Structure 1
Amino acid sequence: MTTTLPGRPGVRIVSIHGKTPQIHDSAFIAPGCTIIGDVTIGADSSVWYNCVLRADVSRIVVGERANIQDGSVLHCDPARPGDPEGSPLLIGDDVLVGHMVMLHGCVIEDRGFVGLGAIAMNKAVIGSDAMLAAGAMLTEGKVMAARELWGGRPARKMRDLDEMAVAGMRMGVAHYVENARAHRAAIDGAAQD
């Protein structure tokens, strides 16, 4: 069953296999997004224009105050022989996901950052306060520790992040929470005109 998100024109919500996306009332979902299946999106999070979150074979969880920026694609993998848990996509709180990122069955811990156009694959882990650089590809099962910067294809550790870099990421989270409120107000205002 496909519906639209109440009060949000241009957002498609698709129920499949008995699962319907659960989206917190304070979350901002931009027009052009499609949210499918077993997806949970937490308070004050934002999913920006033309993203697809497809949880038709496992689950996708987006924590609080996280943002998934324009054109990103998120998916997961089902259970398999020898892998009863499969590869759900789990995104913590205060996470920044840049434009046109592809996330597939990975884990991003609280305050993690994924740069523009990066890819993270099944069972990869981006640690707390860690950054996957723009254009990088974190291959299956690779684990980034807290406060590390990884880059390249395939991604490798480049260095540890200093306090200024971590503070910058936290400022980015606060910016996206406020910017999402501004976009919601603009869209609501346009709908009333």
Structure 2
Amino acid sequence: MALILPVEDISPKWGDNCFIAPNATIVGDVVMGNECSIWFNAVLRGDVNSIRLGNKVNVQDGAVIHCTYRRTKTIVGNNVSIGHNAIVHGCMVHDNVLIGMGAIIMDNAVVHSNTIIAAGAVVLEGTVCEGGSIYAGVPAKKVKEVSHEKVHSEINRIANNYVGYAQWFEEVNEAR
């Protein structure tokens, strides 16, 4: 069963139709919307500050979401996919964003809507990523503008796929 723990009497909360993998870890001040999925070995640590996830957010295998003690919360909007082994730390991620596998988003960064952060990219502290763009590299730089329709359709496809994948595990959800 997933490790879900309170910290200083604050327990994680989640909305309807969420999937939490049996070996995921969620602690403290973490609040998720509806249709979220937290996958195998993912860690959400709301122990030193708060984490807020909107609706239809998927946190894929091995990803870590954390924040900075008394300084920076982590806020993730709606319809966001956080790829395998990504790190999202003390930042603001707006709606309709894809964070690629192994990417790192650091404190006080802002990722605006309809943006793709490429696999392995490192978004440095305080960086502001423009909407409708792809960011790649170390440190991450804007490499391309993409149409709203193209980026939005790709982001929607992935987010919707993960809602479907979560349904494969309905028995796990019901046992929770």
Query: Of 170, 181, 185, which residue of structure 1 is paired with 2:167?
Result: 181
User: Which residue of the partner structure matches residue 67 of structure 1?
Assistant: 58
User: Which residue of the partner structure matches residue 56 of structure 1?
Assistant: 47
The CA distance in 2 between the partners of 1:66 and 1:73, in whole Å, is: 14
The CA distance in 2 between the partners of 1:11 and 1:30, in whole Å, is: 6
Matching residue's letter, 2:168 = A
Q: Does 1:169 align with 2:123?
A: no
The CA distance in 1 between the partners of 2:173 and 2:76, in whole Å, is: 28
Alignment of 1:109-188 (within 5 A): 109-162=94-147, 163-185=149-171, 187=172
User: Which residue of the partner structure matches residue 11 of structure 2?
Assistant: 20
User: Which residue of the partner structure matches residue 4 of structure 1?
Assistant: none
Using structure 2 for the length normalisation, give the TM-score.
0.94
Question: Based on CA coordinates, which of the two structures has the bigger radius of gyration?
Answer: 1
Query: Of 91, 107, 121, which residue of structure 1 is paired with 2:92?
Result: 107
Point out where structure 1 has 5 or more consecutive residues left out of the alignment: 1-9, 80-85
Deviation at 1:165, TM superposition (A): 3.2
Using structure 1 for the length normalisation, give the TM-score.
0.86
Please report the RMSD computed on the Cα atoms of aligned residues, expressed in angstroms.
Answer: 1.5
The CA distance in 2 between the partners of 1:188 and 1:140, in whole Å, is: 36
Q: Does 1:44 align with 2:35?
A: yes
Deviation at 1:76, TM superposition (A): 0.3
The CA distance in 2 between the partners of 1:165 and 1:75, in whole Å, is: 26
Q: Which has the higher contact order (CA 8 A, sep 6+)?
A: 2
Deviation at 1:184, TM superposition (A): 2.5
Point out where structure 2 has 5 or more consecutive residues left out of the alignment: none
Matching residue's letter, 1:119 = I
Deviation at 1:18, TM superposition (A): 2.1
Alignment partner of 2:26: what SS? strand
Q: Does 1:93 align with 2:78?
A: yes
Alignment partner of 1:38: what SS? strand
What per-residue deviation string (whole Å, max 9, x for no partner) do you get for residues 135-158 of structure 1?
A: 000000000011111100110110
Alignment partner of 2:126: what SS? coil
Q: 1:188 to 1:60 in 2, by over 3 A?
A: closer
Deviation at 1:78, TM superposition (A): 2.3
The CA distance in 2 between the partners of 1:46 and 1:108, in whole Å, is: 17
Alignment partner of 1:90: what SS? strand
